[in-house]
Amino acid sequence: MGCRVFLAFILGVCLLSHCQSKHLLRFLTFCQKNIPSDEEYDVEFDGDELFYVDPITYRVERRLSEFAQQWTPDPGLPHEVYVSLGTCQYNIPRCIVGEKSPPEAIAILPEEQPYVERAGIQYSARPYNSLLTVPNGEQFGNWTWPEMCPDKFFAVGFMLRVESEQYGLDDTALNGIRLICAKDEDRSFLYTIESHTGFFGDWSDPLYCPRGVLTSFQLCVEPHQGLFGDDTAANNIRFRCSSNPTLTGAGLDYGEYSLWSQDCGDGGICGIETKMEEYQYGLDDSSLNDVRFHCCAKLQQ
């Protein structure tokens, strides 16, 4: 069964000689999921159809001949009808999601993907209050460069670059963490930051806080496996949102999670810096070994 959307714009008006009392003029838009031929745009006067606009040709078709000389449709009406019908179709999937799910569970739909821009190091001078760390990061590699969300933006979600199980070959597990930054609750324009990432694996789908920002984390790390073992170091990560949900990444499960880091408090995570082992050219790669996050206070806005 299709989902039918009905929009009405109602005006109380007087038409020429009919100004003895108020009359009701209604602009009605109808559409139905996956049935463009069922679209309608009607203008009614006191319950009678004054005219309609054909959704195929966008021609105005009059219904009440007695108003033919008294009522001249706006020349821009066909364009307004085109926009109105398009809006009607745009809202159908949101009606369906809204009917079936509470607001906090609604994900970003494919047809409304936000604009995303890579921030890189251009905002690395942004001031921050503190660093979030955990004690179980591994020993290989070096700390690389920090990347920061733009001013007034905070991390609201993340993606992971993960190499899947290699079944006897060299495993590296978690290779990169990409933070997704937004301003307030606006998810239509986003920035990403990631510091240095490894070369192996694919990026996961993003996970978002339903509301609020990322404020603390846990890191799952496999300890050093010895001279002849296969080191993977960091395997997965969890974040806690300021609205309280916990988001667990799609990494591997070698090793153990640390205790929770400190919390950002009045603010949220706004930057990232990774500890990365460079490519070992055929020897044992461990890739991402540790990570630390910057906290910014919302009071700075």
Return the HEC string of 5-41: EEEEEEEEECCHHHCCCCEEEEEEEEEECCCHHHCEE
pLDDT along the chain (301 residues), means of 10: 43 40 68 64 69 71 66 69 67 64 48 83 95 93 95 97 81 91 92 92 94 97 81 91 94 93 95 89 80 87 44
Q: Could you give phi then psi for residue 227, rounded to 5 degrees?
A: -60, -40
Q: At CA 25, angle to CA 24 and CA 26, rounded to 5?
A: 115
Determine contact, residues 43/51, Cβ cutoff 8 Å. Answer: yes
Q: Which residues contact 277 (CB under 8 A, 6 or more apart)?
A: 140, 141, 233, 285, 286, 287, 288, 289
Which is it for the CA torsion 109, 115, 120, 121, positive or negative? Answer: negative
Looking at residue 116, its pLDDT comes to 92
Tokens of 117: 């821009």
Kindly report, as residue ranges, where domains of CATH 3.10.320.10 are found in the chain.
4-101
β strands within 184-241, DSSP E: 186-193, 202-203, 207-208, 214-221, 234-241
Which pLDDT does position 113 carry in this prediction? Answer: 76
Q: Which CATH superfamily is domain 115-300 in?
A: Vitelline membrane outer layer protein I (VOMI) (2.100.10.20)
Query: Which of these, 291, 290, 287, lies nearest to 272 by C-alpha position?
Result: 291
pLDDT score recorded for residue 83: 64
- Residue span(s) of the chain under CATH 2.100.10.20 come to 115-300
Residue 84 in 3-state DSSP?
Answer: helix
Determine whether domain 4-101 maps to CATH 3.80.10.10: no
